[in-house]
Every structure is written in C-alpha cells, then in structure tokens.
Amino acid sequence: MVSGLTLFNVSSVTGPVQIEIRYSELFTGLDNVNGDGPYLFAAGLANSYRVETFAVEKRGALKSFMVQGAQRWMAIRLIRGTRIVFSSLGMESTTDTTPVDELPGTFSCSNEVWTRLFSLGPRATQHACVRAGTQPSTWELAGEEGVFVRGQRPARTWELLGKLPNNYNVSFQTKIARGGSGWVVDASFGSTATWFFLTGNLPPETTFANHNSTLLPANTLVVGQGFGIVNQTTLPAFRLESVPVHSEIKEDTWTNITTVVENFQIYTVFINDERALVFDISDFPFVPPGSGDRSIGFGGWQDQDAFYRNVRVYNGTGEIYSRSMQESGIQAEYGVAANQFDVCLDGGKRDRMVWTGDFFMGGRTILVSTGATEYIRGTVDFALNDAGSTSSLPINGIMGLDGSSREVDHPNPRLNDYDIDLLNSIWDYYWATGDSQFSTTRWANITTAVDFILSFVNPTTNLWAARSVFKGSTNGTATSCMLSYCLNNMAVLGDLAGDHATAQKYRAQARSTAEAVNSLLWDPTIGHYRNSLTNPKFAYIDMAWSIISNVSSMERAQSQLNQLAGLEFQIGYLEDTDVVGNADTRLAPYLSGFLLESLFQIGATKEAKFLLDGLYSDMAANTPDFSGGSWEYVLPDGSPGFGLFTSLDHPWGSGATPALSRYALGITARSPGFATWLFRPLDLGLRHARGTVPTPRGSIKAEWIIDPATGKMTMTISAPAGTTGVVIPFRKGIWAVDGEKKTVDEGLIVQGGKEIQLVQL
C-alpha cells in the first residue's frame, strides 16, 4: 500500500497519446470504470476520483498534481495513440514508509497470523497520519484568472457557513480548460449539496477518450443532489436533471454563471445572462432534505479542469460575500491549503478528515508501534485550535483549513462522544509519555472542551444526555461510563496543572455519574446494564465501557460476559441484541476494539481469542483482500464490509495492535511515562512472544517462550535505566532469577538498566 503522487518517466512516445490510470485498494477495483472511487464526502487534499488521465506528447517526467490516498493497485491503459514507453513508474510517497520491523514498537509470536495482525495497525497509521506540509493544496493560484481547480469534489468556503439566508444569488466567472466546470450551492455541514456540472463543447483535440458522455454530454448542464451524481455505497447521490444549454460553451473562454436559490428548493441558473435551467427539488420526493448550515463551493467532475474568479453572493438586501479568488488566503478559506499540522486522518483514501473518535484507537496504536507522538500532539492541537464558540470540538476537521478558530458552530453538534474520545487521547498520551507540560499548557482549552461535555449531564439523573453519539446511546451506559472515565482522567491532569478546584469538580461528577449508571441502568432481572433509560437491550459497547471505566464490579462484569455468547455471529459479535445477523451484517473492528480491551482487562481470554482469531485475523489473512492495514468494516465472511468503498487503511480498526502489545507480549505502564511498568503476559495459547515498546526513556524489550521439550517458561526483560518493573508469569512455581530460586507468583520487582531473565524450574 502506498499514498502519494503518481510519478512516471516517459522514454519514448509516438505521437500524442492519452493514458488512463486507475487506483484501488482492492484488486477488483481495477475492473471498475471508477476504480474503487469516487470519494465525494470531502475534498481531503487528494484527488476525489480514483481514475486519472494524462495527455502525453513528449519524453520526460510527469507527476500528478493531487495526492492519491492509500492504494495498493494501479492499472494503466493506453486510451488514445499508438505507443508509449516508460523508463520508470511509481509513487512519490507523501507518508511514512518505514518497514514495520524497524519501528520502535514491534511484536511477533508463535501465531504467524497474530504477528501479521499486529502490523496492520502501524501500517494503517502510517498511511492515515500525515506530517505538516506533506499534503499539497489541490487548488492552484492563477493570478488574475483566480484559481485553477482540477477535477475534484467541490471545496466549500467556510466563511459562509451559518450566514446564508433562505434566498440568495451566486455569481461567478469560469473558464473551462478541459471538460467542464462545477459548483455547489446549499452545501451543508454534512457534505450534501445541490451540484451543478457544466460540460463544454468537448473539442476532440483536448477531450480525453474516456470522457463519459452519457453522464456528462457536451454543452449540457447536469444537476445532482446529495453526494454528487454517482452513488458511493453509503453516500447517496442523485443525478436529477440534464439540460442542453442554449449556446456552445467553448474552452478557454470566460463564461458568466448566476445561480438563484429560493428557499433551499428552487434553483434557477443563468449562463451568460440566458436562463438555462429552473429546477424544483420538491419534484423529486425520493431525495432526502438537506440539513444544517449551508455554503457554496467549486470543483468539477473527473478530469474537468477550470478557472474560477469574481465570486459574489448577494440578495435583495445587498452583498453577502465577495471574492476575486486571487486572495492569498483563498485556499485556506476553502479548506484546501497544504496541511499545517501533523494530523491523523480517519483513512488514507477516505474520508481523509480528522475524525477525533477514530483517532482514539489510532493514537493507542501509535503509542505501541510507530512511537510517532508528534501526530498525537498535532491532532490534539488541530482540534483544540479549531474549536468554535460553542466549545464543541470539530469531530471531523478539515486538514486544509488554516488551523485558526473559524467560529463556525453547527447548531446541533454531532457525535458528542467523539469530544470525549479526543480528551481520552490526551490522557493516553500523558500516561504513555509522562509529558504533563503538554496538557498543562493547553489546560484552558481542555477545560473549555470539558465544560461543553458537562453541559449535557442530566441534572436529575446525572447520566450523560448528549445530543447524538456513535457509541451506545444518549442517557446510556457506554456514554455515561465514557464520561466518568474521562472526568477522572482530566482530574489528574487538572491537579498537574495546579487547578485543584476544577479537578475536584470533575471527580465529584465522575463519581455521581458512575453511581447513576449502577443505580439506574443496571437491571438485575436481566443481568446486564441497559443500553439506555428507555432501551433494555444488551450491547457489547455498554459492557466494554462499564469495564474499562471501572464502573462495573467484577461480579457484574462476569454477568455481562455470560450474555456475550448470545451476540456471537460467525467471525465476531453483533453490536446488540436488536441486530439480526445475516450475510450483509457489517461487523465493527472499531467498536470491537473497546470490547477486546475490556475482555483482556477481566481476563476473558477465550472471548478475546475469538475476536483475535476471527474478526481481526481475517483482515490479516493471506487473501486477495489483504491490504497491509486495518479495515473500516468487515462482513461475516471476512471480506471488506462495504466492498470497494471500504477503507482498508483505517486506524479505527486497529484495536488488536495495542491489545497484542499489552496482553500477549504483556507490557503495560503502571505509572506515567513507564517510570514503573508491568511485564505480565496472559496465557493465550502461544508458545512464545517477543517485542519492543517505545517509552520516553528508550524501548522496553521483552520476550517469553515455552520450551517445546520441557514445557517450561522463560521470561526475558530489558528496560531503560531508572525505571522499575514488576514481572508476573502466567505459570506458577519456582523460578531461577540470576542464579537464585524464587517464588514469583505475586510478581518480581526488577530494576531497569540491565537484562533480567526468569527461568521456570
């Protein structure tokens, strides 16, 4: 798998030729006319289309202008001309390519699939995490001609979100360089929009041979709704109208466009002052209504390259917005400036947004593998820096924004549990590194974020009544346990920052919420925590977070564990008792990551191994679907959950990586920065495991092995000087330690700075 800019050298070409390159994470995507795309949820500082066409007329080097996100396969076709010879062809990587076995954190064991499984996490984070400045802008500044935008999902201006009235006009000038031009109006916070594509006269000398004239005929205006004009599995798109324009639309000629919007419903388009279209969205009742604040944006379909300038938005009361498109900050305003922060995205190929909930799992993977903590600091700073005045954190930030607060607040912030996830990532960073200065210098931002989260606490029940969540339910077990866990962690950071009063307040609320979960949501008649006050169903995410947060007692944890078998379905677990499993049921590596952690915490090794050997190992299996990274979703037969659309380099599916390091290898921190640590592997049926764990003081190297001849266990540990550890074997008995016989059933205290070996006698 690789992410970057396609680069090739032409050593010989006979006449003008055109080549088409298709990209895909899955091999089967090469047979699809669109590759494994398109991806039109966000611009993402990448080519939105997984097909790229080049016109080649002479020898020399050629390089893509826009990044292609994670892809494993490329197919090159000669679509026009007779002959072209390449001396080299490949990708100029824009992400880290360090081999997994050279990373600071490693793991291998007697189970070869588990060894491969560990590597999926760091590989996914390598493709999804990008250093500042490595993802170039997808818009080219063109002086008096405004901006030159190659075919890409239209990027929206963030200056207009929340400011557009029900009725407004948008006017601009566009000059088609090839194919056509595109724009959106009523572009919502959730990325749906009303789309317009104006296709030019398609002169044969510049038109690509693979142009889809059925989708976009010459001299036509096409209208779409939703996420474009081609469906993308989970993103519905509707091609609603195609009308011929009155006069020929020529390339290299400026065209005046005006779009009149009435009540987010009726659209009238004027081309060079002639009315080209009147369109009423209510004529299409199957199209779901848009929601949220609206904006406008610019960008054409695949291989539609055009200039845009002199943009105005106005209504009967006057001008609302005006840009020549020559402004120095125009790329940042539209979210397509080169990235300014080291950030982790949700996936290499899509959505390429900074989803803070996804990052929680990716951050944990980084801490045990790549050790690239700059991505954790950068992602946190990106989110804290871009929080709006409502104090909600951006759950899916646009990395191409300039990083300053845009004061753009959604009227109904979504997935509030993702705010908690980001704060818990700050805690994970502190626990692994001991770097208290990071949180202390950002304490004001952190408390602002926590205050927003606390605003959802129900004052009567003390449960967390968030507006919307991804994990569990509002007024529910998982979300309230997440809150309690987060507040206890933030209280520690508060004490480190010297804000003891706030820390005390957080602890008090954490305690009250935990008590509320146990008194209001535990149902002794059914033996598990209710999903919410109104829904008694059993959901494994509720079980997981009740254990991780220490809200559940061991007795109640065991009671829930007894019911987990009822959710077992083929290679994994159904999310809750309301789900009926079938061949199309998507199993969730992300949510299962929390379950896996909780199972290991209570020593439920049978159930944990079921997840490792099933859901997670299927991503590591040597099949044509193998990508080298962790996946977004998985079907019960072990194939990608959304087919070609599935993100196969998705760190949120990497929960097995930290779990293997913590519980199969057995290394965990007992205090911040691994000043004290624990070497305590669980008995998972392995014959040996070895690996390293990065710490601020250097790597901890650990190995344990069961001698196949004697059946005896040997444990070897080497930790940095100045640290103290406790070694606890999963075998009882007498051990030889530095020539002395010892009983270490309760643990052996060892000092770092030298190698220690325990041999079972």
Q: Strand, helix or coil at 744? A: coil
Does residue 184 belong to any structural domain of this protein?
A: yes
pLDDT above 60 (res 405): no
pLDDT above 90 (res 261):
yes
* Segment holding 703, helix H or strand E: strand 700-706
Token output for 41: 């949820």
Residue 673 in any domain: the answer is: yes
Statement: residue 410 has pLDDT above 90:
no
Looking at the fold, whether 316 and 457 belong to one and the same domain comes out as no
Question: Does residue 104 lie in a domain region?
Answer: no
CA 163/CA 387 separation, integer angstroms: 18
Under DSSP, the state recorded for 604 is -
Q: Say whether pLDDT at 21 is over 50.
A: yes
| 62 found inside a domain | yes
Instruction: Quote the domain boundaries for residue 324.
Output: 139-333
Last residue of a domain, one of 284, 300, 333: 333
Q: What are the tens digits of pLDDT across the range 471-486?
A: 999 999 999 999 999 9
Q: Is the pLDDT of residue 356 over 50?
A: yes
Instruction: Count Cβ neighbours within 10 Å for each residue of 268-297 and write b for 16 or more, e otherwise.
Output: bbbbeeeebbebebeeeeebeebebbbbbb
**Tokens 């002052």 — which residue?**
273
Confidence band, pLDDT 50/70/90 cuts, at residue 407: very low
The per-residue pLDDT for 385 is: 84
Q: Are strands 129-130 and 51-56 parallel, antiparallel or unpaired?
A: unpaired
Contact (CB, 8 A) for 581 and 569: yes
Looking up tokens 């081609």 gives 230
Q: How far apart are CA 529 and CA 556, in angstroms?
A: 9
The answer to whether position 204 is within a domain reads yes
pLDDT of residue 213: 97
Position 269 scores a pLDDT of 99
CATH (domain of 232): 2.60.120.560
- pLDDT per residue over 235-250, tens digit each? 999 999 999 999 999 9
Span 622-669, pLDDT tens digits:
999 999 999 999 999 999 999 999 999 999 999 999 999 999 999 999
* DSSP 3-state of 332: helix
- DSSP secondary structure letters along 152-171: -SPEEPTTSTTT--SEEEEE
- Is 641 found in the same domain as 680? no
Is residue 103 domain-resident? no
In this prediction, residue 630 carries a pLDDT of 98
Structural domains in the chain (count): 4
| Whether residue 18 has pLDDT greater than 50 | yes
Last residue of a domain, one of 68, 94, 120: 94
Segment 84-141, tens digit of pLDDT: 999 999 999 999 999 999 999 999 999 999 999 999 999 999 999 999 999 999 999 9
Sign of CA dihedral 434, 440, 441, 445: positive
Task: Assign 291 a pLDDT band (cuts: 50, 70, 90).
Answer: low
Percent of all residues in the chain with a pLDDT value above 90, rounded to a whole number: 93
pLDDT value at 443 more than 50: yes
What is the model's pLDDT at position 476?
A: 99
Shared domain for 491 and 571, answered yes or no, is yes
pLDDT digits (tens, 9 = 90+) for 553-596: 999 999 999 999 999 999 999 999 999 999 999 999 999 999 99
Asked whether 442 and 380 are in contact (CB, 8 A), the reply is yes
Q: How confident is the model at residue 676 (pLDDT cuts 50, 70, 90)?
A: very high
pLDDT score at 393: 86
User: How far apart are the C-alpha atoms of 277 and 300, rounded to whole Å?
Assistant: 19
Check if the beta carbon of residue 265 is closer than 8 Å to that of residue 282: yes
Which one of 307, 333, 359 terminates a domain?
A: 333
Same domain, 68 and 117: no
- Neighbour-count burial for 550-576, b at 16+ CB within 10 Å, e otherwise: ebbeeebbebbbeebeebebbbbbbbb
Write down the mean pLDDT value for the chain. Answer: 96
Q: What is the pLDDT of residues 679-729, one digit of tens each?
A: 999 999 999 999 999 999 999 999 999 999 999 999 999 999 999 999 999
Same domain, yes or no, for 487 and 614?
Answer: yes
Q: Verify that 345 and 328 share a domain, yes or no.
A: no
- Tell me, yes or no, whether 306 and 255 share the same domain: yes
* Amino acid sitting at position 520: L
pLDDT of residue 413: 67
| Residues 522, 644 within the same domain | yes
Q: How confident is the model at residue 408 (pLDDT cuts 50, 70, 90)?
A: very low
Q: Answer yes or no: do 469 and 599 share one domain.
A: yes
DSSP state of 151: S
Per the DSSP assignment, residues forming a β-bridge with 689 are 109, 704
- Per-residue pLDDT of 532-550, as tens digits, reads 999 999 999 999 999 999 9
H-only helix segments in 62-111: none
Give the span between the Cα atoms of 615 and 112, in whole angstroms. 16
- Is 405 inside a domain boundary? no
Residues 164 and 284 in one domain: yes
Return the CATH number at 527: 1.50.10.10
Same-domain check for residues 535 and 570:
yes
What per-residue confidence (pLDDT) applies to 289? 73
Is the same domain home to 65 and 195? no
8 Å CB contact between 406 and 386: yes
**Residue 167 within any structural domain of the chain:** yes
